[in-house]
Amino acid sequence: MDHVLSSATALSIAHVLAGALVLVSFMMLYQDRLSSVINVLALHAVVLGCAVGWQAYIQHAPALYITAGLALGFKALVIPIALHRIVERFGIHREVEAVGGISLTMLGGIGLVALSMVVMLRTAAHADALAREDVALALSVILLGMLMMVTRRNAVSQIAGFMSLENGLILAAAGAQGMPLVVEISVAFSVLIAFIVIGVFLFRIRERFDTVDSTALDAFRGEAS
Amino acid sequence: MTPIILICAAASLILGGVGGVIARRPAGRMIVYGGSLAIAVVALLAALAQLALGIAPDPLVVLPIGLPHPGASGLGMRFGMDDLAAAFLIIANIGGAAASLFALGYTRHEAEPWRVLPVYPVFLAAMNLVVIAADAYGFLLCWEVMSLASWALVMAHHTEAATRRAGVVYLLMASAGTLALLLCFGLLAGNAGNYAFTAMRAVPRARWMGSAVMMLALLGAGSKAGLVPLHVWLPRAHPAAPSHVSALMSGVMTKVAVYAFIRIAFDLAGPPAWWWGLVVLLAGGMTAVLGVLYALMEDDIKTILAYSTIENIGLIFAGLGLALAFKADGMMAAAALALTAALFHALNHMLFKSTLFFGAGAIQHATGTRDLAQLGGLINRMRVSAVPMLIAALAIAALPPLNGFASEWLLLQAILLSPALPQFGLKLAVPAIGALVALSAAFAAACFVRFYGIAYLGRARGDAAAAAHETDRWSLSAMILLAALCVAAGLLPGFAIDLLAPVTHALLGARVSTQAGLSWLTIVPVALRQNAYDPLLIALFIAISAIMGAFVLRRFGARATRRAPAWGCGYQEFGPPARTLITQYSPSGFAQPIRRVFAGVVLRARDEATLPLPGEAHPARLTLRWSDPAWSLLYAPLIGAIGWLAGQTNRLQFLTIRRYLAFVFMALVALLGWIALWG
């Protein structure tokens, strides 16, 4: 490595950025208004962009700069703005829709972070320290994203959980010596398409049931939630 | 000789395809069964030549299809006929040839021949290929083809609800058995993952793993052979098939299962532990007695024969268990005797059980019923087929000088050698198993006295039996051929023992001493003890005493045959039914003493008689109830548990999206937790 920073400093900065991503995931967990969930999602993408950009810098991998740019462009700007517009059109930006207490969810989240740390220490004890810590934190972000999806009723915040889960995947991939550009672009496209499909579904659900609460779907199937 | 068998199997498969095309033409039947007959005869001669002339087994033939073998020559299913395979090919192809010959005549009245013709040659080919397969992939593939083909043949008469139910039970049991064999071969291949039998023999394995292999082989092969309590499909499926297929399934397919067990337990699993023999002996003894007890309770002639197959499988497995016990203790000569007894009995059972199923098919065709209580007096109307049926019934009842006695005598000789075994468990258990074998032989005699006596002797119990007619020449020739082989194997057991000697030599390194050349064709299997059996002398004695007895009866008894109305116990004036149906022994009446004494506890058999009160006009009725303990103790709880579990799992069909996500999430967290704690 011939860059100016010592490798210890580079590792700490990468660590701080990845840890910040986990922290933002926790922030998302305790939001109880939809518009603030979307704001935190945008922040999440910004932090991801910084983390991936830093990885690009220390690994000398120019392809990763494109990943960072995609994260900042699509996930920090386009998707949050679109989600805001959807929420405002539906008039549900003040809706409270968490399942179970926020404190219980936070405790569960802490447990998940601990679990992913232990798993990585046990399974990847001999791997490169930077990559290992990165993957452990990325796994935490993925698990927290799933927790978000599980503990929310509203389809919009389930999308937010899914997006943050996907951010965790990208963080993991960037830490592991980068990933090929083709894969990255196809992932970005698939996220975009998922967003479009889910958006269309949201409008269809809304048209039919006058709500985007996904329990309405279950009621339509003739079952109690 | 292996290529000949492979070519025969390929010809059978092609014949199956041809059968599919021409099944609806009148000539299709003759082509398929005639072709099967010719192929079976060629394969039989090849196997017989290898065993009788002592030709060394060929090197393995590797076909260019199959699974990749690591470290070996890439793709390739291996086939090879060693002496064990040759012995079972003889059994399979005698049975196949006889069934094809029988079918030439018997299937003339088959309603839907296109359900049988394409599958029948495939079934024969699969049974031949299982026996010569020399790797696990080829073995299991052919085994499954055999199961599926026999299932398709059972379902030939699918319009009857009982047949469809039999098909479902058979399919379930067959797949469970194959699963056991699959796991068994997986353990045998070990970490190297080489599925060729030659590689499996070389793999060193721990004691517990060898034991697990043996138990899985017992489950897998035992479920196909019909070991209690895995037998439940057999008495449903075997009778449901057309009779020539029933004969093949009972006579040959169960022997293929026996072959699978011998191949794994004696050849592939390595040195046995002493308790393997005990487990197999107990399973065999229990199977023998329970099988024949079931047979005594039944009234359907083909079901009786199917249950009797279970009994004979029990005898064969008792012999195999004894051979395993002797082998574990290094008594190879005794092991060779027990194994020879088992193999000889397998051959004999194929001979007489096929004859009996042919006869049952002839009866079903002639009278339209399989209910023993409707039959009677058939010896007067089926004069020719009654003779081979009598011979087969005597043979299966183990009466000298026929072949059933010869093999059971050999088995008892092996049991008499058991006091030399060092383990006390075996010292105690083997004589008890010997007692069970003797008991089952006595029950089998009672069972076939009942079968033959009710069906062929006396007077017709129904109009159908009264109008019966003799069967056709093809069927008769098949029955007579097999009955003649029964007599020949009974009179000349020494030749059969010598024929099987290379098999025991290959598996155990020992053989029963050569029997050819002993005076009067005596057999002396244990030279040391001089226990000899001389079937020719016994046959001569029986013939002379029978002739003398007949002469004395004719000379000093009544001078001439007189014909008079049969005495009807005082009911003559109530018309013909009273004279024939009511006043003769009924099959359930004949079995009543044994039912009362033995089956009351084991099978929960109950007789309930409802007698009319004075003044009531309806007749007295006797209802019999008995249940298979395997169903109530094993299968009913199992089915209940599976049903309960399915009911619980069914709830998962109706969750919210969020709960499905939660399930995925929980599963992921649980797996990660597993890694964190024990990874």
Q: Tens digits of per-residue pLDDT, B192-224?
A: 778 889 888 888 888 889 999 999 999 999 999
Closest chain B residue by Cα to residue A215: B656
Asked if the Cβ–Cβ distance from A149 to B668 is below 8 Å, we say: no
Closest chain A residue by Cα to residue B663: A150
What pLDDT sits at residue B601? 82
> What distance in Å separates residue A92's CA from the closest CA in chain B?
20
Q: Which of A118, A217, A223 sits opposite B654 (nearest CB)?
A: A223
Burial class (CB in 10 A: 0-12, 13-18, 19+), A146: buried
Alpha-helical (H) ranges within B226-273 are: 234-240, 243-248, 254-262
What pLDDT sits at residue A214? 67
* Distance from C-alpha of B126 to C-alpha of B144, rounded to nearest angstrom: 9
Residues of chain B in Cβ contact (below 8 Å) with chain A? 654, 656-658, 661-662, 664-665, 668-669, 672-673, 675-676, 679
Q: Which residues of B touch A161 (CB under 8 A)?
A: none
Asked if the Cβ–Cβ distance from B665 to A150 is below 8 Å, we say: yes
Asked if the Cβ–Cβ distance from B665 to A146 is below 8 Å, we say: yes
What pLDDT sits at residue A225? 41
Q: How many of the other CB atoms lie within 10 Å of CB of B149?
A: 23
What pLDDT sits at residue B213? 94
> What distance in Å separates residue B646's CA from the closest CA in chain A?
20
Least confident of A152-156, B144-148, B324-328: A152-156
Please state the rounded mean pLDDT for residues B109-134. Answer: 92
* Distance from C-alpha of A25 to C-alpha of A20, rounded to nearest angstrom: 9
pLDDT band at B527 (very low <50, low <70, confident <90, very high): low
Asked if the Cβ–Cβ distance from A218 to B657 is below 8 Å, we say: yes
pLDDT band at B598 (very low <50, low <70, confident <90, very high): confident
pLDDT band at B24 (very low <50, low <70, confident <90, very high): confident
Asked if the Cβ–Cβ distance from B656 to A214 is below 8 Å, we say: yes
Alpha-helical (H) ranges within chain A are: 7-29, 34-59, 62-70, 79-90, 102-123, 129-151, 155-175, 181-209, 215-220
Residue from A135, A150, A162 whose CB has the most chain B CBs within 10 Å, to mutate: A150
What pLDDT sits at residue A35? 86
Whether the CB-CB separation of A96 and B654 falls below 8 Å is answered with: no
**B610, β-bridge pairs:** B621
Least confident of A194-208, B2-16, B135-149: A194-208
Closest chain B residue by Cα to residue A224: B656
Asked if the Cβ–Cβ distance from B672 to A115 is below 8 Å, we say: yes
Closest chain A residue by Cα to residue B670: A115
Q: Which residue has the higher pLDDT, A98 or B294?
A: B294
Q: Which residue has the higher pLDDT, A97 or B389?
A: B389
Q: Which of B654, B656, B662 sits opposite A215 (nearest CB)?
A: B656
- pLDDT digit string, tens, across residues A107-132: 999 999 999 988 888 887 777 766 67
Whether the CB-CB separation of B36 and B12 falls below 8 Å is answered with: yes
> What distance in Å separates residue B650's CA from the closest CA in chain A?
15
Please state the rounded mean pLDDT for residues B7-27. Answer: 90
Least confident of B110-114, B227-231, B298-302, B522-526: B522-526
* Distance from C-alpha of A155 to C-alpha of A198, rounded to nearest angstrom: 9
Asked if the Cβ–Cβ distance from B675 to A119 is below 8 Å, we say: yes
Asked if the Cβ–Cβ distance from B658 to A116 is below 8 Å, we say: no
Please state the rounded mean pLDDT for residues B474-493. Answer: 94
> What distance in Å separates residue B647's CA from the closest CA in chain A?
18
Q: Which residues of A touch B675 (CB under 8 A)?
A: 119, 122-123
Asked if the Cβ–Cβ distance from A225 to B669 is below 8 Å, we say: no
Asked if the Cβ–Cβ distance from A115 to B673 is below 8 Å, we say: yes
Q: Which residues of A touch B654 (CB under 8 A)?
A: 221, 223
Q: How many CB pairs under 8 A join A and B?
A: 48
- The full DSSP string for B501-567 is HHHHHHHHS--PPP-TT-GGG-B-SSTTTT--B-HHHHHHHHHHHHHHHHHHHHHHS-SS----PPP
What pLDDT sits at residue B474? 92
Model confidence at B227: pLDDT above 80: yes
What pLDDT sits at residue A2? 46
Asked if the Cβ–Cβ distance from A116 to B673 is below 8 Å, we say: no
Model confidence at B267: pLDDT above 50: yes
Q: Which residues of B touch A119 (CB under 8 A)?
A: 672, 675-676, 679
Model confidence at B383: pLDDT above 50: yes
Q: Output the average pLDDT for chain A.
A: 79
Q: Which residues of B touch A222 (CB under 8 A)?
A: none
Q: Which residues of A touch B673 (CB under 8 A)?
A: 115
pLDDT band at B394 (very low <50, low <70, confident <90, very high): very high
Asked if the Cβ–Cβ distance from B657 to A217 is below 8 Å, we say: yes
Please state the rounded mean pLDDT for residues B26-48. Answer: 93
Q: How many of the other CB atoms lie within 10 Å of CB of B279?
A: 17
Q: Which of B656, B669, B672 sits opposite A225 (nearest CB)?
A: B656
> What distance in Å separates residue A60's CA from the closest CA in chain B?
33
> What distance in Å separates residue A2's CA from the closest CA in chain B?
37
Please state the rounded mean pLDDT for residues B322-333. Answer: 92
What pLDDT sits at residue A110? 93
Please state the rounded mean pLDDT for residues B466-489. Answer: 93
Q: Which residues of B touch A149 (CB under 8 A)?
A: 658, 661, 665
Q: Which residues of A touch B665 (CB under 8 A)?
A: 143, 146-147, 149-150
Closest chain B residue by Cα to residue A218: B656
Cα dist. A93→A34, B141, B302 in Å? 5, 63, 77
Model confidence at A224: pLDDT above 60: no
Asked if the Cβ–Cβ distance from A119 to B679 is below 8 Å, we say: yes
- pLDDT digit string, tens, across residues A72-92: 888 888 888 988 888 888 777
Q: Which of A115, A116, A150 sits opposite B662 (nearest CB)?
A: A150
Closest chain B residue by Cα to residue A214: B657
Residue B606: what are its φ and ψ, rounded to 5°? Answer: -130, 135
Whether the CB-CB separation of B468 and B52 falls below 8 Å is answered with: no
**Both tokens assigned to B278:** 């005990």
What pLDDT sits at residue A177? 62
Residue B135: what are its φ and ψ, rounded to 5°? Answer: -145, 160
- pLDDT digit string, tens, across residues A162-196: 888 888 888 887 776 655 665 666 666 667 667 76
Asked if the Cβ–Cβ distance from B665 to A153 is below 8 Å, we say: no
Whether the CB-CB separation of B12 and B126 falls below 8 Å is answered with: no
Q: Which residues of B touch A115 (CB under 8 A)?
A: 669, 672-673, 676
Q: What percent of chain B has pLDDT over 90?
A: 59
Q: Which residues of B touch A158 (CB under 8 A)?
A: 658
Whether the CB-CB separation of B591 and B450 falls below 8 Å is answered with: yes
Model confidence at A25: pLDDT above 70: yes
Q: Output the average pLDDT for chain B.
A: 89
Assess: ipTM above 0.85.
no
Asked if the Cβ–Cβ distance from B669 to A99 is below 8 Å, we say: no
What pLDDT sits at residue A1? 42
State in Å, rounded, how far the first CA of chain A is from the last one.
Answer: 56
- pLDDT digit string, tens, across residues B632-678: 889 999 999 999 999 999 888 777 777 888 888 899 899 988 888 88
